[in-house]
């Protein structure tokens, strides 16, 4: 007799196959029946996750993973991850700045805060990120307005974060292959351009670095491989992470998830270990509220805080559907994929279907799913990411939980299948990354050309029809005037005196270029 559980698995498998075929056709042939594939992607991701959970088996987890000392193979895996990042991102090192980047460079150059004033100054966008502002001012002294210097600095931070994912995964008990897969996927995930290439995503990189460092330090403290010094390292890392970006406020919840996975949450040791993190988090939140005069953050059209205006439907749609869709399929659909990418997509879909056959203890999903959804809480109001992947930088840290989730599933396969599925998933994400980076490259070239045309004008510039985004990439929603001044005199803080009549430029959407308009016509 077929059980209800078996019927559910069959229904989910059928839905997964049908949606996979529909997405494959959408990739190869374009929007025949549906323009946005987000709903189909959500269905595939959700079905795959439910199948993994339904096929999970009960089992006893050990109180602590077997202690594994780092060896030469771990060092080789780390070097391989660093080399992979250099190989996939090196071309983007020369990409020109975009949109908010020019404003951030202007602020970094004119950084005048005292140490005390730095921690008492709110951002114009409702943010409070003093350490990020400090980092920008220090980095500017070396990088100035050279895109290569800025990008390689961001690549270095991204590399450190990917290595920390590997270290944390090993400390959590993952095998070397699974840990290396999780770190490599984190390194080349298709959502990376906005966080790693766009200078405005530097806060996400910094917050992730401190969160991952703090997590690894706490695990080391808890496993008794180090003394209480590691607890203080974790506490300091959390503090710097919160001062880098708001996404680090959930760090204490990560520790709760970790301790819950060890069945240690109700112990006295766990309580004593958590108290400092809870106290510091509450203190920093109180200080933030006093500086901002409220919770801060972005506001909706009615002027109210987005974080306090969430509905149940929005939360479910963001966490259950959109988050899963973008993480499983990080593709910028504003830029049509080519046939090669379509073939890679088909192989990836087949790999996902095969991955759902993995048999994993359901307890092993506690940490990956817990990390994924906990880290997605701070950016929740903005997680309704569209098919153009704008705001995908907000998934930089939550992707760590997703990578651990797939690594957990991979460990439930046979050895040969582990390698085949892991490589297929990585190849797909590298293909998606190159596909997405091509849009960023085009936008960067157009931005530099537009600023050059405007900078050649001897007087004040007025621009008509300049788009805020181009093929899903932030273009000039902000920062155009700062870009023009940067090109004019290599100084983002001083402007020349201009003649009375402005230089009027118009954006041609067909050629995607600026052209001069006679003033009398204007």
CB contact at 8 A, 56 and 361: yes
> In angstroms, rounded to a whole number, what is the distance separating the alpha carbons of residues 38 and 325?
6
> In angstroms, rounded to a whole number, what is the distance separating the alpha carbons of residues 187 and 162?
6
Q: Which residues contact 430 (CB under 8 A, 6 or more apart)?
A: 88, 188
* Beta-strand runs (E) in 32-156: none
CA atoms within 13 A on the CB side of 296: 22
End-to-end CA distance of the chain: 78
> In angstroms, rounded to a whole number, what is the distance separating the alpha carbons of residues 462 and 472?
24
Cα distances (angstroms) measured from residue 303 to each of 297, 381, 519: 11, 14, 38
Q: Residue 340 pLDDT > 60, yes or no?
A: yes
In the block, residue with structure tokens 């090993």: 170
Please give the backbone phi and psi of residue 406, each rounded to the nearest 5 degrees, phi first. Answer: -65, -35
Q: Residue 445 pLDDT > 80, yes or no?
A: yes
Q: What per-residue string of b and e applies to 258-268 under the rule 16 or more CB within 10 Å gives b?
A: bbebbeeeeee
β-strand partners of 57: 361
Q: What's the confidence (pLDDT) of residue 273?
A: 93
> In angstroms, rounded to a whole number, what is the distance separating the alpha carbons of residues 318 and 520?
50
> In angstroms, rounded to a whole number, what is the distance separating the alpha carbons of residues 234 and 215?
7
CA atoms within 13 A on the CB side of 369: 14
What is the DSSP pairing of strand 461-464 with strand 469-470?
A: unpaired
> In angstroms, rounded to a whole number, what is the distance separating the alpha carbons of residues 33 and 367?
38
Q: Of residues 385 and 313, which shows the higher confidence score?
A: 385
CA 259 to chain CA mean position, Å? 25
DSSP secondary structure letter of residue 246? G
Q: What's the confidence (pLDDT) of residue 62?
A: 46
CA-closest candidate to residue 75, choices 170, 157, 212, 211? 170
> What mean pLDDT is predicted for residues 339-348?
94
> In angstroms, rounded to a whole number, what is the distance separating the alpha carbons of residues 411 and 433?
25
How would residue 461 be classed by pLDDT, with cut points 50, 70 and 90?
Answer: confident
Q: What's the confidence (pLDDT) of residue 522?
A: 44
> What mean pLDDT is predicted for residues 232-247?
95
Q: Which residues contact 372 (CB under 8 A, 6 or more apart)?
A: 323, 398, 401, 402, 404, 405
Q: Kindly report the CA angle at 94 between 495 and 147, in degrees rounded to 5?
A: 40
Q: What's the confidence (pLDDT) of residue 521?
A: 47
CA-closest candidate to residue 428, choices 411, 408, 406? 406
Q: Which of 111-115, 194-198, 314-318, 431-435 has the lowest mean pLDDT?
A: 111-115
CA 203 to chain CA mean position, Å? 11
> What mean pLDDT is predicted for residues 82-99?
94
> What mean pLDDT is predicted for residues 179-189?
97
Q: Which of 25-29, 390-394, 453-457 has the lowest mean pLDDT?
A: 453-457
Confidence (pTM): 0.92
Handedness of CA 454, 455, 459, 460 (dihedral sign): positive
Q: Please state the length of the chain.
A: 522
Q: Residue 149 pLDDT > 90, yes or no?
A: yes
Percentage of the chain with pLDDT > 90?
A: 52
Q: Where are the domains of the chain?
A: 4-58+67-297+305-441, 449-517
Percentage of the chain with pLDDT > 70?
A: 88
191 token code pair: 């959502």
CA-closest candidate to residue 491, choices 111, 134, 144, 153? 144
> In angstroms, rounded to a whole number, what is the distance separating the alpha carbons of residues 148 and 150?
6
3-state secondary structure at position 321: helix
CA-closest candidate to residue 261, choices 395, 407, 60, 69? 60
Q: What's the confidence (pLDDT) of residue 156?
A: 96
CA-closest candidate to residue 369, choices 38, 66, 8, 56? 56
465-470: long-range pairs with CB below 8 Å, 24+ = 465/506, 465/507, 465/509, 466/507, 466/514, 467/507, 467/509, 468/99, 469/388, 469/390, 470/439, 470/442, 470/443, 470/446, 470/512
Q: Which of 150-154, 262-266, 325-329 has the lowest mean pLDDT?
A: 262-266
485 token code pair: 């001044």
Q: Residue 28 pLDDT > 50, yes or no?
A: yes
CB contact at 8 A, 263 and 222: no
CB contact at 8 A, 309 and 315: no
> What mean pLDDT is predicted for residues 353-361?
91
- Per residue in 263-298, pLDDT (tens digit) is 988 899 999 999 999 999 999 999 888 887 776 666
> In angstroms, rounded to a whole number, what is the distance separating the alpha carbons of residues 425 and 421?
6
Q: What's the confidence (pLDDT) of residue 306?
A: 63
CA-closest candidate to residue 404, choices 197, 206, 219? 219
């Amino acid at each position: 007799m077929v059980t209800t559980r078996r019927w559910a698995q069959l229904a989910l498998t059928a839905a997964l196959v049908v949606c996979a075929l529909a997405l494959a056709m959408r990739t190869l042939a374009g929007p025949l029946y549906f323009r946005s594939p987000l709903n189909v992607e959500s269905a595939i991701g959700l079905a795959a996750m439910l199948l993994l959970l339904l096929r999970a088996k009960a089992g006893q987890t050990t109180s602590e993973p077997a202690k594994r000392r780092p060896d030469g193979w771990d060092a080789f895996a780390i070097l391989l991850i660093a080399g992979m990042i250099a190989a996939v991102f090196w071309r983007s090192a020369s990409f020109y700045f975009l949109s908010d980047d020019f404003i951030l460079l202007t602020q970094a150059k004119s950084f005048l805060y005292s140490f005390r004033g730095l921690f008492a100054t709110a951002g114009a966008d409702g943010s409070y990120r003093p350490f990020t502002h400090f980092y920008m001012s220090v980095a500017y002294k070396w990088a100035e307005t050279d895109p290569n210097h800025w990008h390689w600095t961001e690549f270095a931070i991204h590399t450190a974060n990917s290595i920390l994912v590997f270290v944390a995964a090993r400390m959590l008990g993952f095998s070397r292959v699974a840990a290396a897969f999780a770190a490599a996927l984190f390194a080349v995930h298709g959502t990376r351009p906005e966080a790693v290439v766009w200078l405005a995503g530097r806060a996400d990189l910094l917050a992730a670095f401190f969160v991952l460092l703090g997590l690894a330090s706490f695990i080391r403290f808890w496993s008794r491989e180090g003394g209480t010094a590691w607890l203080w390292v974790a506490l300091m890392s959390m503090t710097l992470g919160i001062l880098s970006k708001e996404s680090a406020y959930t760090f204490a919840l990560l520790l709760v998830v970790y301790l819950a996975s060890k069945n240690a949450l109700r112990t006295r040791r766990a309580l004593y270990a958590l108290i400092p993190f809870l106290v510091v988090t509450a203190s920093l939140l109180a200080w933030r509220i006093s500086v901002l005069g409220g919770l801060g953050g972005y506001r909706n059209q009615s002027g109210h805080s987005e974080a306090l205006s969430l509905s149940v439907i929005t939360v479910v749609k963001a966490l259950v559907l959109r988050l899963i869709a973008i993480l499983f399929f990080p593709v910028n659909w504003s830029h049509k994929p080519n046939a090669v990418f379509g073939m890679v997509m088909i192989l990836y879909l087949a790999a996902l279907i095969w991955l759902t056959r993995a048999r994993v203890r359901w307890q092993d999903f506690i940490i990956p799913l817990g990390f994924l959804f906990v880290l997605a809480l701070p950016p929740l109001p903005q997680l309704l990411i569209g098919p153009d992947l704008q705001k995908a930088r907000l998934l930089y840290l939550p992707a760590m939980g997703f990578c651990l989730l797939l690594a957990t599933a991979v460990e439930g396969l046979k050895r040969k299948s582990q390698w085949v599925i892991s490589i297929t998933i990585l190849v797909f994400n590298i293909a998606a990354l190159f596909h997405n980076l091509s849009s960023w490259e085009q936008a960067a070239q157009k931005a530099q050309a537009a600023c050059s045309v405007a900078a050649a004008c001897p007087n004040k510039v007025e621009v008509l029809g300049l788009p805020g985004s181009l093929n899903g990439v932030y273009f000039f929603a902000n920062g155009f005037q700062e870009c023009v001044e940067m090109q004019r005199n290599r100084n983002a803080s001083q402007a020349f005196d201009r003649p009375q009549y402005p230089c009027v430029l118009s954006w041609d959407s067909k050629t995607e270029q600026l052209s001069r308009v006679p003033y009398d016509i204007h």
